[in-house]
Amino acid sequence: MLNLVIKKWIEPYKLLETIKDYSSMEEFTFDGTNKTILKNHFLKQLKTEKGFGLYMKNVNKFYLFDTTCNLKDVLTKEFDLKDDDSSLIENEDEAFSLVDSGKAEAAFFMY
């Protein structure tokens, strides 16, 4: 799995609305008691469906999008994303950890 980790701050609502222009979306809202269960469900859905997932800092939701649009192109065009504003990481746990620790604003998960 490749994970696109975004370091540049992007307004979460604007990010979601922009991506929704290219794809339909399903969201999974979690709290402290069910985060692990929903995270596992989210990752399982990603493995069985086309598209990509999104996890953002300070938003208690996982998002699943059903498109295979060129995400990097969309982010570059809509948010002026530069090469040093993001990185590709293979380890999904590391991507989640970077967001949870505040070292990244968001992570996109793609199979």
Tens of pLDDT along 33-62? 999 999 999 999 998 887 899 999 999 999
For 71-96, the pLDDT digits (tens) are 888 899 999 999 899 999 999 999 99
Q: Binning pLDDT at 50, 70 and 90, where does residue 68 land?
A: low
In whole angstroms, what is the distance from residue 8 CA to residue 81 CA? Answer: 8
pLDDT for the residue numbered 1: 76
Position 111 pLDDT exceeds 80: no
Position 2 pLDDT exceeds 90: no
Q: If residue 77 lies in a helix (H) or strand (E), which one and from where to where?
A: helix 71-79
Position 28 pLDDT exceeds 90: yes
> Which residues are CB-contacts of 110 (< 8 A; sequence separation ≥ 6)?
1, 2, 3, 4, 46, 52, 53, 71
Position 27 pLDDT exceeds 90: yes
